Amino acid sequence: MHDLISSNKRRSVYLIASFVVLLGCVGLAVGALLGNGVIGTVLALAFSAVVSFTSYWKADAIALRVSRAVPADPQEYQRLHNLVEGLCIAGGLPKPGIYVVHDDAPNAFATGRNPNHAAIAVTTGLLEKMNRVELEGILAHELSHIRNYDILVSTLAVTLVGAIALLADMSIRMMWWNGGRVSRSNDRENGSNPLAIVGFVLLIFAPIAARLMQASISRRRETLADVSACQMTRYPPGLISALEKLKEDTTVTHAATTATAHMWIEQPLSGVGDAGKLSRMHSLFNTHPPLEERIALLREM
């Protein structure tokens, strides 16, 4: 287990570095395409640097705001606070911030940059549909994400994926509005600029690459968090029962977006499990392993 957690930390560093490199490449492509030479490239890279820096310090707050999460009142949600406090004592973790999302779909997520700066958010639907042991299993799963340092890369991905898509979309639209006519001196002299062509192709495929990287974040980490949660509660049937309820529930989590989908305990958006001709292609963008696989693994424990 410790080896897997250490491996996850290393993979987190690689993924964050890959996101930043991809964002920087998009910045270079923007500078080449908009024809502003060094100035355009520097401005695009400066934007990328600001987004990366802001992501580290503020991505958790952004994720909570995007999900419409509000602080959970200790009196109104006393059971929730008591369960989190008990699990934190058992797991040797500082108590994270506790938030509630007013959404009928049962779901939850953890966010933050480290165990000392972390938060857990649960939907009102989860609180209504789970009994005490099931809710404990879900909370232990989210606390495991915090203990395993999964939250840093998943939280950063919220803003980095969005920044890559925004920068690429903005640049392509600017070219479109300009009718494809940009004042690049190299183009006027040589007829075409290979760098601009490469940049245009990069802008088209960068959002797809970012989504694939986003999808790779959660699959293995969800399984590890399930196992870690059972070690924390010492009662696998509680989490198994909770996952079975999540499997049976078909309510869409309206508070989730494509940018935050990988953070939730189960795939929150509709369209998952499509069995059409493109099902294999769709599965590449699934942010979670199938609940059936997760439940089967826990039953073997």
Residue 189: φ, ψ to 5°:
-80, -40
Of 85, 134, 136, 142, catalytic: 142
Contact 112, 118 (CB under 8 A): yes
Instruction: Give the C-alpha separation, 40 to 37, whole Å.
Output: 6
Cα gap 25→29, rounded to integer Å: 6
| Of 233, 297, 293, nearest in space to 266 by CA | 293
User: How would you classify the pairing of strands 108-114 and 117-123?
Assistant: antiparallel
Instruction: Clarify whether 142 is annotated catalytic.
Output: yes
Residue of 96, 62, 123 lying closest to 259 (CA atoms): 62
Q: Which position has the token pair 């010492």?
A: 234
Closest CA to 121 of 137, 150, 92, 143: 143
Q: How many Cα atoms sit within 13 Å of 174 on the Cβ side?
A: 15
Alpha-carbon span 29 to 284, nearest angstrom: 26
DSSP state, residue 111? E
Say whether 112 sits in a helix, a strand or coil.
strand
Q: Give dist(CA 181, CA 177) in Å, integer.
A: 9
269: number of Cβ within 10 Å: 16
Please provide residue 157's backbone torsions phi and psi, each rounded to the nearest 5 degrees.
-60, -30
Report in angstroms the alpha-carbon separations of 34 from 63, 64, 133, 206: 31, 34, 57, 17
Residues labelled catalytic: 142
